[in-house]
Structure formats: structure tokens, C-alpha cells
Structure 1
Amino acid sequence: MDIRRLQLLRELADRGSITAVATATHRTASAVSQQLKVLEAEVGVPLTERHGRGIVLTGAGLALADTARRIAVAIESAEALWLEFTQSPQGSVSVSAFPTAGQMLLPGVLRAIASEPGLEVVITDHDMPLPDFAQLTPDYDIVIADSQGIPAHWRENGLRVVPLMTEPFDVALPAGHPLVEKSVVRLTDLVDEPWIGAPTGYPYDRVLERLGAAVGREPRIVQRVMDNLIVERLVAAGIGIAILPRFTTRSHGNGIVTRPITGLPAERQISALMRADRAERPSVRRVLELLQAEATRVVEGYRTVGER
């Protein structure tokens, strides 16, 4: 079996369509189809089957695609081992981050990379309404994702998942709100408040769902906004209160004050997702190390400020 054809099968498993594979591998759709037919003839069993207007992998196709992933990991591991003997990490590493993770982690990483000749990081930002960050891994070397816990399908799909940090959520209040006088806010304090919510399915929205379940009635959401900076302004204007991430919410001099919530699990896990083969590259491993170091610095820096 030709390794290049196996990798096309793996791409089909990850991307879901011939057209997407063709675009990603700079081929025509007919060329991809032809190569998969050749592979199917080589193995002697059907690897794909029709499903509606497209195709899906058969059981044999899925098994062979998983084999292709393991082969890719072995190749990258061998190349990484050789590069460690011959040179420092080099090349371009693409990183996708959701906005608040980008604010926390990317400036420090890019500053550190500037002192490492031959290593480049190319960043972009994506925010996903559901835990579908895994869908970005075919196109980026490292995807920074947030979630409540680690979704099982991330690891089931053969991804390398590296936890970076846990970030608590706080309640954001207008500076003159009566609850500002409390050091910790209880669920019963929040029952009758108007809320600036997040789009349905976002982590902050799921916290409000748990709040509603705990107090026995749904929170009164007056607006739903995705951008945290807009949420901060609406809170400062007294339109409502909100759930916001602790490390990136500006609570000094902008009209809002944040307080921790007691009696409710309110936090998110921030992780780095990678295809397992790409995770073997020295350049990717080096950028991951810098992301881990920056995440540690952010968490420890917040603790130090809190102790003053």
C-alpha cells in the first residue's frame, strides 16, 4: 500500500468529504477519488460507501484510516528524533486560538519565539459555539480550545490533548451594584438579576443553565452577546450582570467588579489539541512548551496579585 494513498484516506476520515480533501491537499476531487479507488483495489475490500449525496468510510475504511494515523505518527517521530540530533526546532507552526485564550497566551509566546531563529508561529483566531474545536485540527498544528471537562470524542478521534490551564468564571457586576459589598456571591443572591448571556451552547451559557437548575428557575436573560468586551460595557452600563472568565476580565477602572460564585461549578479547561503526528514535530513541541509555560505564568501571576 502506498503511504500517500493511506494519508488521503486518513484525510477523508478527518475532513468528511472528497471535496474537502481535494482542497486541503491541492488536488482535484477526481484525482482524490481515483487514488482512493486504487487503494481500495490494493486492499481488496470496500473502503467507502455512498451515503446520501456523499460518501462515508466503511468499517474497513475506518480501521485503515486509523492505521494511517499511526503510520503518520511513527514517521513524524522518526523525523523528530533525527532533527534533535541535527538542529534546533525550525519551521512554521500554525496556531488557532479562541479570543480570550489568545489574549492570555499568544503575546508571551510570540515574544519568546522572537529569540529563536528559524522558528515561526502563525496565529489565527476562531471561536466555536460547541465543543467542535477538533474540527480545526486538520488545518492547524495547534488548536487552543476551551471546554467543561475534556470531551471524550477528542481523544476517541486520535487527537493529542494537552491541558494548559483551568480558568474560573466569576460574576461581573456594575461598580455600584449592592452585591459588590460581598466578597463571595451566593446562588440565592443572583436569582432575580437580569443577565447578559452568551450565545446558546457557549461555556458561559452552560454555567447559567446550571445556575437555573440549582435555584429551580431559569435566569432572566435580557441580551445574548458573544464578544466579552461588549458584555463588559453592558454590565458597566447597568443593563445586567454576566458570567465572565477570571483571568481576562478587566475589573479595574472600567465600571465593573467581579466576584467569585459559591455553590456552583464555574470554570473551564483550556487545552491544546493536535493531530498526534504533528505533535511529534520538534517545532510543534517547542511551541507547545512555550504555551504551557505562558499558561503557568498567567495562573501564578493572578495568584500573586490576589495575595497582595
Structure 2
Amino acid sequence: MDVRRLQLLRELADRGSITAVARATHRTASAVSQQLKVLEAEVGVPLTERRGRGLVLTGAGLALADTARRIAVAIEAAEALWQEFAASPQGIVTVSTFPTAGQMLLPGVLLAAREEPGLEIVVTDHDLPQPEFAMLTPDYDLVLADSQGIPAHWSEQGLTVVPLMTEPFDVALPAGHRLVEKSVVRPADLIDEDWIGAPLGYPYDRVHDRLAAVVGREPRIVQRIMDNIIVERLVAAGVGIAILPRFTTRSHGNGIVTRPITGLSAERQISALLRADRAERPSVRRVIELLQAEAERVMEGYRTVGEPRTVTAAIPTVGGAGLWSASA
């Protein structure tokens, strides 16, 4: 069997359509179809079948696609071994990030990468509901993703998941709100509030689901907004309160105050998500190391300044002890 044809089958398993495979591999759809037919003739069993208007893999096709993934890992491991003998990690590493992870991690990582000869990081930003992060892994070496726990479908798709950090969620309140006098808030304190919610499917939104389970009724969500800066402005104006991430929420005289929640699980995991074969590249492994180091600096910086009543996102600047405050 030709390894290149096996990789086309793997791409079909990951991308879901001949058209998407053709676009990603710079071929025509007819060329991809022809190569898959040749592969079917080589193995002697059907690898695809028509379902509706599309093409899906048979059981044999799925098994062979999984084999193709393992072959890709072996090839990358062999190339990585050679590169480790020949040179330090080099090449372009493509990274997809969602906004708040980019604010926390990328300034330090990109500056640190300048000290790595031959290593280049190219970043693209996306903001997606949790189930869609895995869809980006065919097109990027590393995908920064947030989730509550590690979703089963990530491992089911054979992806490598590298945990980077856990970030608590806080309640954002207008500066004059009655709950500002509390050091922490409880679910019962929040029953009658108007909320600025996140789009359905985002980790912030799942906190509302847990709040509903604890207090016995759905929170009253008056708006759903993706951009955290807009959320902060609406909270400051008194339109509602909101769930926001602790390390990247500004509270510098901008009219909002944040408080931790007790009695309710309110946090997210931030991870690097990637194909298993790409995890074998020295350049990708080095970028993961830089991300892990920067994530630790972010958390340590916050632990160092403590948890003041008006929460400040504390991110040490590279090469100094100053603080950088950011918002999604």
C-alpha cells in the first residue's frame, strides 16, 4: 500500500468530505477519489460508501485510517530523531488560539521564541464553541482550546491533549452592586439577577447550567455576547452581571468588580490540542514547552499578588516583574 494514499484516507476520516481533502492537499476532488479507488483495489475491500449526498468510511476504512495515523506518527518520530541529531528545533509552527488564551500566553511565548534560532510561530485567532476545536487540528500544528474537563471526542479522534492551565471563573459585578461587599458569592446570592450570558456551548455558559441545577431555576439571561470587552462594558453599565475568566478580566477603574464563586464548580481547562504525529516534531514540542512555561508564569504571577477584592489579571512581562492587564 502506498503511504500517500493511506494519508488521503486519514484526511477523509478527519475532514469528512472529498472536497475538504482536495482543498487541504492541493488536489482536485476527482484526483482524490481516484487515489482512494486505487487504494481500495490494493486492499481488496470497500473503504468508503455513499451516504446521502456524501461519502463516509466503512468499518474497514476507519480501521485503515487509524493505521494511517500510526504510520504518520512513526514517520514524524523518525524525522524528529534525525532533526535532534542534526539541529535544534527549527521550522514554522502554526498555532490557532482563542482570544483570552492568546492574551495570556502569546506575548511571552512569541518573545521567548525569538531566542530560538530557526523557529517561527505563526498565529491565527479563532473563537469557537468547545466541540469545534478538534475541527481545527488538521489545519494547525497546535490548537489552543478551552473546556470543562477533557472532552471524550478529543481522545476518540486520536488527538494529543497537553493540559496547560486551569483558570477559575468569577462573577463580574457593577462597582456599586450589593454583592460587592461580599468576599465570595454563593449560588443563592445570584438567583434574582439579570445575566449577560455567553453563546450556547461555551464554557462560561455551562456555569449557568450548573447554577440552574443548584438553585432550581434557570438564570435570567438578558443578552448573549461573545466578546468579553463588550460584556465588561454591559456589566459596568448595570445591564446585568456575568461569568468571566479570572486571569484576563480587567478591574482597573472600569466600573466592574469580580468575586469568586463558592458552592459551584466554575473553572475551565486550557489545553494544547494537536494531531499525534505533529506531537513528534521537535519544533512543535518546543512551542509546547514555551506554552507550558508561560502558563505557569501566568498562574504564579496571580498567586504572587494574591486574590485582591478587586481582581486584577496579573501576567508577568517577559524580562521584568511588571503586570499586564488584558481582556478577551
TM-score of Structure 1 vs Structure 2, range by shorter chain: over 0.9
Give the conservation status (yes or no) of the 8 Å contact 1:131–1:147. Answer: no
> Partner of 2:324 in structure 1?
none
Say which SS state the counterpart of residue 271 (structure 1) adopts.
strand
Letter in 2 for 1:48: T
Give the conservation status (yes or no) of the 8 Å contact 1:167–1:247. Answer: yes
Say which SS state the counterpart of residue 55 (structure 1) adopts.
strand
> Partner of 1:74 in structure 2?
74
> Partner of 2:150 in structure 1?
150
Give the conservation status (yes or no) of the 8 Å contact 1:98–1:144. Answer: yes
Matches within 5 A, 1:1-308: 1-306=1-306
In 2, the alpha carbon distance for the partners of 1:291 and 1:259 equals 28
In 2, the alpha carbon distance for the partners of 1:52 and 1:71 equals 31
State the shift of 1:246 in Å. Answer: 0.4
CA deviation vs aligned residue, 1:136-176 (integer Å, no higher than 9, x gap) = 00000000001110001101111000100001000000111
State the shift of 1:307 in Å. Answer: 6.4
State the shift of 1:129 in Å. Answer: 2.0
In 2, the alpha carbon distance for the partners of 1:52 and 1:221 equals 39
Give the conservation status (yes or no) of the 8 Å contact 1:5–1:36. Answer: yes
In 1, the alpha carbon distance for the partners of 2:153 and 2:192 equals 37
In 2, the alpha carbon distance for the partners of 1:303 and 1:96 equals 27
State the shift of 1:222 in Å. Answer: 1.1
Give the conservation status (yes or no) of the 8 Å contact 2:185–2:259. Answer: yes
Give the conservation status (yes or no) of the 8 Å contact 1:199–1:205. Answer: yes
Letter in 2 for 1:305: V
Q: Percent identity?
A: 85
CA deviation vs aligned residue, 1:186-214 (integer Å, no higher than 9, x gap) = 11111111111111111111101110111
TM-score (norm 1): 0.99
In 1, the alpha carbon distance for the partners of 2:20 and 2:223 equals 36
The count of residues paired between Structure 1 and Structure 2 equals 308
CA deviation vs aligned residue, 1:18-59 (integer Å, no higher than 9, x gap) = 000000000000000000000000000000000111110000
Runs of 4+ in structure 1 displaced over 4 angstroms? none
In 1, the alpha carbon distance for the partners of 2:151 and 2:266 equals 17
TM-score (norm 2): 0.93
In 2, the alpha carbon distance for the partners of 1:147 and 1:122 equals 23
Say which SS state the counterpart of residue 149 (structure 1) adopts.
coil
